[in-house]
Structures are given as C-alpha cells and as structure tokens.
Amino acid sequence: GAVVSQHPSRVICKSGTSVKIECRSLDFQATTMFWYRQFPKQSLMLMATSNEGSKATYEQGVEKDKFLINHASLTLSTLTVTSAHPEDSSFYICSARDPRSGELFFGEGSRLTVL
Amino acid sequence: QKEVEQDPGPLSVPEGAIVSLNCTYSNSAFQYFMWYRQYSRKGPELLMYTYSSGNKEDGRFTAQVDKSSKYISLFIRDSQPSDSATYLCAMRDSGGYQKVTFGTGTKLQVIP
C-alpha cells in the first residue's frame, strides 16, 4: 500500500533553535499534505494544510510565522518549527492523500522535545 | 459540543472477545468515515474506509455507519493482544477542502 515517510522520528533541541521535519509520499504524488499535532491522550489537531506550489492554509490559532510549511514538490512537504520553546514539545504527524483512492495515509510521526 | 464524540476508554477485554468501538457526530455533511489504529508513539494506520451508510467487513474488522443516527461503529472479532492500541474514528465531507475531523480515540487493551 501507499507509504508516507516522516523524518526525523525523534528530535531534541535547545530552546530558541529551529527544527525541520520532512514528510514524503513514497508511492504517489500528493498535491495536498496535512500537518497535525498530537498531545498525550488527545486526538490529532490539524495545524495546516500544505498545498504544492502555493501557500499553506493554517487552522485558526496556529502561528504561521512559527510553523513554516513548504511544499516544494509533489512528494515532499516540510514543517519548520522556528525559535522552538518547551511548549512546542509535542508529537507532530503528517499525512498525505492518495489521489488514486482518496484515502489518507499518515507518517510515523516526529516527537519533538525542546529543552 | 464537539463535532465528533468518542469514548476515550480505556477499554480492557480478554483475548477472543468481540470489541465494539463507537463514535457519534453532529455534522450531517460528513460522507466519508474512517477508522485508524495508532500504536503508542506511532502515526495512525488506516484500518477501514467507508462511504455513506452501511457495513463493510475486512477480516476480523467490521465497520458500520448509520447516518440517520449519526453513529459509526467498529467491531473487532476474536480480539488479539496485538489489537491493543488506540482506535481513532475520523470523518469528512465531500467538499473540495476535504478536512478530516478526528475523534479523541479509544484506548483498547486485549489481555491474553
């Protein structure tokens, strides 16, 4: 089946630094990818929709300047957490929709810990 | 009121039991319904994908959708310890934006 790859799976950084997370669709081209944030024992909260070749669409309450999204190709979207702070520590998950079936597939997630 | 309500559990059952997981929703525009399984510290994995009302079976898993009651269910037959995970229901409308709304997830533990 379709595979969405996310990297890195774990990252620890110091407060004030920036961290980039990559999301790749391996079996299909995805014009749209989604970025979620998940807190312990809570569901996935959609942060933004990443559109290939255009600006991302952010959900209400998500800081555009803090969570930079780039969807430079049909198989790659990146999320950059800028000037990270401890409250940004979370599990970030990307997903991509397979245009052949309409199904949504998820990456393995990236656990960010900001010290 | 949340758009999608799901009992967070945890739900603990003995191996071999039939498990019933449920979600209710309020948005009548939802047309596509999904169930995802998420193991600890992993991304969600798609289990079932259904359109509109009816049943869909895949191995030990059966998904039911009752749009008139705005209620969906996932049944797991002959549950196994490897089924222990968090199960998320998800749904979306047929609009171009295709935003998916998730339930909070039900944590299931199957005891050997």
Mutate to test the interface with B, among A28, A43, A54, A60 (most CBs of B within 10 A): A43
pLDDT at A41: 73
pLDDT at B81: 97
> Which residues on B lie below 8 Å from A34 (Cβ)?
100
Model confidence pLDDT, tens digit, residues B13-49: 999 999 999 999 999 999 999 999 999 888 899 899 8
Q: Which residue of B has its CA nearest to A6?
A: B43
Mean pLDDT of the region A82-106 = 90
Mean pLDDT score of chain B: 91
pLDDT at B100: 85
- Describe the strand order of the beta sheet including A67-73 as a list of residue ranges: A4-7, A19-25, A76-81, A67-73
CA dist A20 and A25 (Å) reads 17
Q: What distance in Å separates residue B59's CA from the closest CA in chain A?
A: 17
Contact call for residues A36 and A23 (beta carbons, < 8 A): no
Write out residues 12-71 of B within 8 Å (CB-CB) of A.
Answer: 32, 34, 36, 41-46, 49
Which of B41, B99, B104 is the closest to A43 by Cβ?
A: B104
Model confidence pLDDT, tens digit, residues A61-71: 999 999 999 98
pLDDT at B96: 57
Model confidence pLDDT, tens digit, residues A51-93: 888 889 999 999 999 999 998 889 999 999 999 999 999 999 9
